[in-house]
Structure 1
Amino acid sequence: MSELAAHLDRHDTIRAVNYADGVLRLLDQRELPFTEAHIECRNAIEVAKAIKDLVVRGAPAIGIAAAWGVVLQAGLLEGAGEPVSIAALDSTFGTLNAARPTAVNLAWALARMRATLAAAKDDPLGALTAEARAIQDEDLAANRKMGEIGASFFADGIGVLTHCNTGSLATAGFGTALGVIRAGYAGGKIARVYAGETRPWLQGARLTMWELVRDRIPAKLIADSAASHLMKSGVVQWVIVGADRIAANGDTANKIGTYQLAISAKRHGVKFMVVAPWSTVDMATKHGDDIEIELRDPAELLSISGKRTVVDGADAWNPVFDVTPAELIDVIVTERGAIQKPFGPGLAKLAGVQG
């Protein structure tokens, strides 16, 4: 093992989704950073609820969990002596697909599982299990590859800002945007890391900082509203974010607050990088206006950790994603390669690459 590979391994110690013997164990991300608790799911309904309730979150991790949800339900059918078929699992696919509407990885993973089941002959449960494992293993390999590609854009000694959580907690491991940060730090290119807190669920404060501290990568937390001031100071050269859906023209849906970071980055001459596996690219969605934006319970914005912080009678508007126009993005990194403007032709070209 090379010295760099060993250094990367030291910064990749977290696995949030684990399947074994008919049980899916999910690290409950609602309880972090102070409690490392796990939720055990034994059927697809429990997996869908865990996805909806943010026990597991992050576009790749959601897709992986959903794939294992299909396996769990197929196992229950086989255990009851019932056929494991498309018809028998049709409602399962629908339930899982409806859990979160914005992240395309969910529908992508379920489409792979459905195709696998349709082609299976003698051992459908075995085929589904192998496909779910492949989805998870491929994601980890893709994240390592994206880390290498993304870090190649950096000069030495730069500062970076990230938003939300795009690390091992949101993926099979290593992470997308945080994977690029891990690779850049391991290679000596990143000297300063800043993480926005990411209201209302505080994924940056609770999850990203937990990952960075656990994997010994020095970082500083900032209030979301401090990002423009930080960029103006000159200590940040790149903003690095993940994505929940990338349209065919490069418009990108990501955690709410990403759009305003891109606007500020453009104003201050800071480069803007989107990092996501190819499964996040949705060539059927032509532009960002066609991406459904999930609205969640206003109560999430009116409280922190269940404690209300806003006067009774107040209401709130709680979209949890926004869309960054392609013209505000400098580079999109996938495991198939990096794309720079104009994104449409580059994405179309990579769409023909077998992944």
Structure 2
Amino acid sequence: MADQYAQNPVGDEPPPLPALRWSEPPEGPVLVLLDQTRLPAEEVELVCTDVPALVQAIQTLAVRGAPLLGIAGAYGVALAAARGYDVEEAAPLLEGARPTAVNLAYGVRRAVAAYRAAADKGPEEAAQAALTAARELHREDAEASAQMAGHGLALLDELLPGGGHRILTHCNTGALVSGGEGTAFAVALHAHRAGELRRLWVDETRPLLQGARLTAYEAARNGMPYTLLTDSAAGSLFAAGEVDAVLIGADRIAADGSVANKVGSYPLAVLAKYHHVPFIVVAPTTTVDLSTPDGASIEVEQRAGHEVTEVTAPQVPAAAGAVGGGLPVAPLGTQAYNPAFDVTPPDLVTAIVTELGALSPVTGGGIAELCARSRQVTIS
């Protein structure tokens, strides 16, 4: 069950709320989410008391972003265990909520493994083990975010000496998708704090406007110089020589280095290649999936057509007859093609930045070595 928990008008400039937090009120443990579907109009938290509510929050994008989905999945297992639900039944529900983001399955499996390892000690100990695993993943992701920001800025300074970076980004990759300050957005934020960000170009990111609603929201909160543009205007920016680098996140990186990210990322990679602009992917090593051999093997989530045929916005009343609760912008019955992601091949990726550093060129061998290093760091 999910309920509205608290809200503040954005105009009052309250301190940013965490995208996700575990809470233990007297009535029992809950997972509290900042409802990203309501931003930027208002900051509203949802309280999830069970796994079905969390699954719904994931599918409706109230909580989103690959790293944060991994954290949410782990906490979802802990929530099921703490509430006395069947963890083995809850796990596949969580894993299947969004198929492309590999972090979600990783977080679920990590918490389930901890739960199973402690199962012989009793249900309370097993539930606590799952919660500990979720909290560890949350902490690790925050640390990875800080490390990626440093590595990413160092790479930018190497590729683009002189500072004054003009960065184009797509979708939302900030604190709203992370246990820390994000992935690609964290690099831009790091550059801003170092006085090296001249302009953050923000793709609106159709059809759900994560750039316009969320990245612009985070950029404004951090006092960054930013400009919003329609996705289709990016080409004119490249042609005018106004883009120094493209920074995006990732929802899954295949073993050959292919990158699945929010739909619209692949066209940016093609533009960047043509205009000789670095195209950089920033993601933690938990986003790499060696069991997915190549880009063609990545399952791309197909979302409902009404997200394209209707426009929804926070606090805007739905039009009569709207399927998805928005304002129709296409004739009734129009079919829509609405993949949530597209896949960029490795030869279009200048570098992949992780918490362990930058990988360039992007090759299958380099990805395998990166994962081997990640396991060594985790074990130690």
TM-score between both structures, scaled by the size of structure 1: 0.92
> What is the letter of the counterpart of residue 106 of structure 1?
L
**1:69-108 correspondence runs (5 A):** 69-77=76-84, 88-108=86-106
Partner residue of 1:322 out of 342, 351, 364: 342
Distance in structure 2 (CA, Å) of the matches to 1:313 and 1:351: 46
2:70 paired residue number: 63
8 Å contact from structure 2 (residues 202, 229) kept in 1: yes
Residue 33 of structure 1 and its aligned partner are, at CA, apart by: 0.4
Distance in structure 2 (CA, Å) of the matches to 1:343 and 1:332: 10
SS of the residue 1:199 aligns to: coil
Structure of greater relative contact order (alpha carbons < 8 Å, 6+ residues apart)? 1
Residue 275 (1) aligns with residue 295 (2): no
Q: Which runs of 4+ in 1 moved over 2 A?
A: none
Residue 259 (1) aligns with residue 266 (2): yes
Distance in structure 2 (CA, Å) of the matches to 1:325 and 1:30: 30
State the Cα deviation string for residues 322-343 of structure 1 (Å, max 9, x = none).
0001000000011122100142
Distance in structure 2 (CA, Å) of the matches to 1:34 and 1:16: 16
**1:36-47 correspondence runs (5 A):** 36-47=43-54
Cα RMSD (Å) of the superposition?
Answer: 1.3
**1:4-15 correspondence runs (5 A):** 13-15=16-18
Residue 256 of structure 1 and its aligned partner are, at CA, apart by: 0.2
SS of the residue 2:83 aligns to: helix
SS of the residue 1:262 aligns to: helix
1:132 paired residue number: 134
SS of the residue 1:30 aligns to: coil
8 Å contact from structure 1 (residues 13, 215) kept in 2: no
**1:1-355 correspondence runs (5 A):** 13-21=16-24, 22-77=29-84, 88-120=86-118, 121-122=120-121, 123-154=125-156, 155=161, 156-305=163-312, 306-353=326-373, 354=376, 355=378
Distance in structure 2 (CA, Å) of the matches to 1:76 and 1:27: 21
Cα distance, 1:13–1:182 mapped onto 2, change above 3 Å: farther
Distance in structure 2 (CA, Å) of the matches to 1:152 and 1:337: 10
Residue 71 of structure 1 and its aligned partner are, at CA, apart by: 1.1
State the Cα deviation string for residues 114-144 of structure 1 (Å, max 9, x = none).
2111211431111111111111111111000
8 Å contact from structure 2 (residues 349, 362) kept in 1: no
Aligned residues with identical type, % of pairs: 43
State the Cα deviation string for residues 143-183 of structure 1 (Å, max 9, x = none).
00000000001231121000000111111120000011111
Aligned length: 335
Residue 234 of structure 1 and its aligned partner are, at CA, apart by: 1.1
Distance in structure 2 (CA, Å) of the matches to 1:165 and 1:61: 12
8 Å contact from structure 1 (residues 14, 168) kept in 2: no
> What is the letter of the counterpart of residue 366 of structure 2?
G
Unaligned residue ranges in structure 1 (runs of 5+): 1-11, 78-83
TM-score between both structures, scaled by the size of structure 2: 0.86
> What is the letter of the counterpart of residue 288 of structure 1?
G
Distance in structure 2 (CA, Å) of the matches to 1:151 and 1:49: 36
SS of the residue 1:195 aligns to: strand
> What is the letter of the counterpart of residue 254 of structure 1?
N
Distance in structure 2 (CA, Å) of the matches to 1:27 and 1:277: 22
Unaligned residue ranges in structure 2 (runs of 5+): 1-14, 313-325
SS of the residue 2:43 aligns to: coil
Residue 34 of structure 1 and its aligned partner are, at CA, apart by: 0.6
SS of the residue 2:37 aligns to: coil
Residue 190 of structure 1 and its aligned partner are, at CA, apart by: 1.9
